[in-house]
């Protein structure tokens, strides 16, 4: 059994050198290449919010092989399964988790290869992911008065609307797209949907808080329990009145000073049994 992959992207690395531990044919002339160490961020199976990095493998002879995808691989002691076939969350006890670099063709086990992720694309995703977390916290704060019952709290001690209502989150370069559902379950927990009647006013309230946080330029870091893909990682952000900590396996900026601005747009629509709200978050890089 090969060990879990050591990952360096939480530290902001975009290049690394590693040894090929396993090559698994995937069909269509593609292979899943597992290294002992990588700076390449894969898309997660259970919560695929941040897409995989873009980049390439460089072989010992100088040949550059495009990485067409990067997914999570997992094994409970037998053969590895990859991507959508992984049946458990990354980090589940008793399983080994690896980063699978998907390429067209193959490489040799034992070969030393270099990994190079597109640094500009990574930086844009990192801005988008940090902005997504900030927007979720600002949304929770703006809706704090909409609760008639005690609710679970977020990283800043506000009722956790985002965590309770989120259906889907997708990070993209310099932004994110988050979908929330407000139905009977959320109303039973004490949320008053009337708080969503004036979305422009709510957006303005969120934007004002985001502007305050971005202007403060607080530090951002990733704390982690260990160096492998399976180890728990936490986004930590210094805000004017508190330090926010959110479990997260993605990549982020090192400081809010890297952001020029963050803003949101909210759109609501009626769905069966309730309301769907889409929050589109847009970040601009600092000049």
User: Of 91, 114, 120, 125, whose CA–CA distance to 39 is shortest?
Assistant: 114
Bridge partners of 34, per DSSP, are: 22, 100
Do 279 and 168 touch, CB atoms closer than 8 A?
no
Tell me the per-residue pLDDT of 173-212, one tens digit each, with 9 for 90 and over.
Answer: 999 999 999 999 999 999 999 999 999 999 999 999 999 9
Query: Of 128, 127, 104, 107, which Cα lies nearest the Cα of 29?
Result: 104
Reported confidence tier of residue 119, pLDDT bands at 50, 70, 90: very high
For 123: left if phi > 0, alpha if psi spans -120 to 50, otherwise beta; the answer is alpha
Mean pLDDT of 108-126: 99
What are the pLDDT digits (tens) for 64-83?
A: 999 999 999 999 999 999 99
Average pLDDT for 144-169: 99
24 touches 82 (CB < 8 A): yes
pLDDT of residue 130: 99
Angle at alpha carbon of residue 173, lines to 18 and 117, rounded to 5°: 15
For the entire predicted model, the pTM comes to 0.97
Q: Which of 32, 35, 254, 49 is closest to 132 using CA atoms?
A: 49
Averaged pLDDT, 248-262: 99
pLDDT at 217: 99
- CATH topology for the 120-285 domain: 3.30.980
Expressed in percent and rounded to 5, the helix, strand and coil fractions of the chain are 25, 45, 35
Q: What was the pLDDT predicted at 13?
A: 99
Tell me whether domains 6-117 and 120-285 share a fold. Answer: no
pLDDT interval class at 246 (50, 70, 90):
very high
DSSP 219: B
Query: What mean pLDDT value characterizes the chain?
Result: 98
Q: What is the pLDDT of residues 78-100, one digit of tens each?
A: 999 999 999 999 999 999 999 99
Q: pLDDT for 34-65, tens place per residue?
A: 999 999 999 999 999 999 999 999 999 999 99
pLDDT of residue 203: 99
> How many residues in the chain?
287
Residue 227, pLDDT score: 98
d(CA 62, CA 146): 59
List the domain boundaries for the chain.
Answer: 6-117, 120-285
CATH of domain 6-117: 2.40.30.130
Q: Distance between CA atoms of 51 and 284, rounded to whole angstroms?
A: 19
């Amino acid at each position: 059994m090969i060990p879990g992959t050591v990952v360096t992207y939480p530290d902001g690395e975009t290049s690394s050198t590693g040894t090929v531990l396993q090559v698994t044919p995937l069909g269509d002339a593609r292979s899943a290449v597992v290294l002992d160490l990588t700076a390449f961020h894969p898309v997660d199976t259970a919560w695929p919010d941040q897409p995989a990095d873009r980049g390439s493998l460089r072989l010992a002879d100088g040949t550059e092989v495009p990485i067409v995808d990067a997914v999570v691989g997992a094994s409970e002691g037998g053969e590895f399964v990859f991507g959508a076939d992984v049946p458990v969350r990354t980090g589940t006890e008793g399983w080994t988790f690896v980063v699978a670099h998907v390429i067209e063709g193959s490489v040799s086990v034992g070969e030393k290869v270099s990994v190079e992720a597109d640094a500009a694309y990574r930086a844009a995703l990192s801005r988008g992911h940090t902005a997504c977390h900030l927007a979720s916290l600002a949304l929770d704060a703006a809706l704090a008065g909409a609760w008639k019952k005690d609710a679970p709290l977020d990283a800043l001690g506000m009722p956790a609307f985002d965590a309770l209502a989120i259906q889907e989150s997708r990070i993209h370069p310099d932004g994110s797209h988050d979908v929330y559902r407000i139905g009977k379950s959320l109303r039973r927990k004490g949320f008053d949907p009337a708080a969503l009647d004036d979305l422009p006013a709510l957006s303005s309230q969120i934007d004002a808080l985001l502007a305050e946080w971005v202007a403060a330029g607080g530090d951002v870091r990733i704390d982690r329990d260990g160096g492998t893909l399976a180890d728990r990682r936490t986004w930590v952000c210094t805000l004017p009145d508190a330090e926010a900590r959110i479990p997260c396996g993605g990549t982020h900026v090192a400081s809010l000073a890297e952001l020029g601005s963050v803003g949101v747009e909210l759109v609501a629509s009626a769905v069966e049994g309730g309301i769907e709200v889409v929050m589109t978050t847009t970040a601009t890089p600092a000049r």
